[in-house]
Structures are given as C-alpha cells and as structure tokens.
Structure 1
C-alpha cells in the first residue's frame, strides 16, 4: 500500500487522482477528497483555488505519470515498428494494472463542457503530445500511416475499457504490425 505523504498538497493531489480516475470528476465531492486525504478545507484552498484547479492539477499529474510509463515501454526497442508495438504492450499492461478504467483524459472529457477551458486545453495537449510522440517515432512513415496508428491506439484504449477486455488492444496491435 502506498504511504501517504506528509505534504497536504500532495495528499490532496494523490487522493483526487485516485478518486477522479476511479469515480469520475462530478461523482467526487470536495468533502470526500478532504476526508480521504485527511486535510482541512483551509489547506485545500491554500493549495488549490477551486475544485476545477484540483482537476487541472490531476490532469497535469496524470499526463506526466502516463507519459513516463509509456516511455518506459517504448524506449527499450530500437526499431520504430518495435517501439510502436511496445506502446500497445503498454496499453495491455495499464489495462491490467488499472482494471480497464481507460483513458483518464477521455473519461474527464465526457464530464466537462467548453466552459472548462483549462481542463479542455490540458486534455487536448495530452492528445497532441501523444500524436507527436508517435509521429517522432514514425517520422519515415507517411502521415496517413501515422494517423492510422494514432487512431488505432486511441480506439483500442476506448474499446478495451468498454468491454473490459484486452482483445481490442491485441487486434489493433496486429493491425499496426501489418501496417508497418
């Protein structure tokens, strides 16, 4: 079990990260975050101006965590094809670790509106960064192939969440192997 940080800001962020990802943003109340984090309301507003600011911090934290995990899977292989296939292996791994909860960014996207501009920007930037990451690996491939692989990755993530099953990732991985 992960030990709680002594830093109230970090405890709030760790708790919100867990609750927003598992339960959803709107289903998680500030009182639950405070109680589970063991932090007073005054500490919350000392570190985060609002629940929306806590959401934005969660998204930034998740972006860094997720990309670090993806890179640990894709940095070992040397060939572009093997790096991309390793990205799909990453999806298989994270599905197991996170019980098919899916993409935190798309989950939050389904809960916010255009008025949540900063959260929306972070989500879009995350997806742009993923697409750019794949493009950098696949720089010798046509843009159409790069786009196909990105879209297969995204759809495999969503479908595996929907079915709580690895088959969408496994099938997308096979398609990518054929494309490359």
Structure 2
C-alpha cells in the first residue's frame, strides 16, 4: 500500500510538472510552482526527486513512450509502407490542430536547455532517434535509409514550421512532399 501511495504522489508531481513544462516552458517553471500546484509538500517532492532536472527526465521518458506509441499506432493504420508514412503525417495534421497543442515538447525543451545538460539532451536525442527508426523500419523493405532520413527531416521541419506559423499548412505541405518522395 505504501509503494502505491508513493508512486501515486510521484505521478502527481510528474503530471503537474509535465503540464507546466509544456504550457510555460522548463525554465519558466519553478519547483515552488510544481509543489504548490501538485499539492505536495516540499519534503515529499524532494523525497521523490532530488532535482528539477530529475523531474524533467521522468517527464521526457513518459512523454517519449506516449509519443512513440501514438506514432506507431498511427503508422499501423496503413497497409503498406507509403500508407504507413502518410498515416503518421495524418496523425500529425490532427495533432497540430488540437486546441492545446503547443508544439513538440522535445523540440520546445531542446531550445531551452543548455547543451551541457547531457542527460536531458541524450534523452531528447533518444526520442528523436526513435522517430527516425520508426521511418527506417517502415521503409526498410522498400528503400535505403536515406529516404527514411528525408522523411524524418520533413516530419521535424513540419513541427518547427507549425510552431513558427501556428498553422497546419506546414504539416500538410510536408505530407505532400513525402507522398512525392514515396511514389
């Protein structure tokens, strides 16, 4: 029972921090705000996590797993490699139109953290390499790795352009380019 309570408190901290990191940024989110909004006492937070960066790492791990699962589910809707890739872009088109979408959380964070925050940077790279591997895995039976890299760059570029313009057209354009590359 005690472990369940400990895990529930830990998850409450993560959920609160995740919402705040995504909405207002990592650097703009203070430990005191996480404590206040999660409803835990300071000592409980520091028992669960030694540092704010430890909270960020758990956020990245959980968010990365959820993102990987969502992209895999989207790809699985397609019957062949081309349809699988286009299904991922269809998922992205829907995602960027959601009311609360504030850009890719990994791309948002990589622009905030210093490059010497090695374990954070490596975790973000791991997640992005997972996206790249998804495209490589889909295309391995039909093409060289270079096409998967091109699709990956389109995907990431569409996320950045969407963040800049706050419009869906960058993702729709990237999907059209991907479709041409896959033909």
TM-score tier, shorter chain, comes to over 0.9
Q: Is the 8 A contact 1:25 1:111 kept in 2?
A: yes
SS at match of 1:97: coil
Q: Which runs of 4+ in 1 moved over 3 A?
A: none
Q: Give unmatched runs, 5+ long, in structure 2.
A: 1-6
Whole-Å separation in 2 of the counterparts to 1:74 and 1:55: 28
TM-score, normalised via structure 2 length: 0.91
CA offset digits 1:60-115 (Å, max 9, x no partner): 11101111111221112220101100111111122123544111111111111122
* 2:163 match: 161
Q: Is the 8 A contact 2:60 2:124 kept in 1?
A: yes
* 2:144 match: 142
* 2:74 match: 73
Per-residue deviation, 1:143: 2.5
TM-score, normalised via structure 1 length: 0.93
Whole-Å separation in 1 of the counterparts to 2:37 and 2:67: 23
* 1:3 match: none
Whole-Å separation in 2 of the counterparts to 1:99 and 1:11: 20
Q: Is the 8 A contact 1:100 1:165 kept in 2?
A: no
Q: Is the 8 A contact 1:134 1:146 kept in 2?
A: yes
Q: Give unmatched runs, 5+ long, in structure 1.
A: 1-5
2:20 corresponds to 1:23: no
How many residues are matched?
Answer: 176
2:126 corresponds to 1:125: yes
C-alpha RMSD of the superposition: 1.5
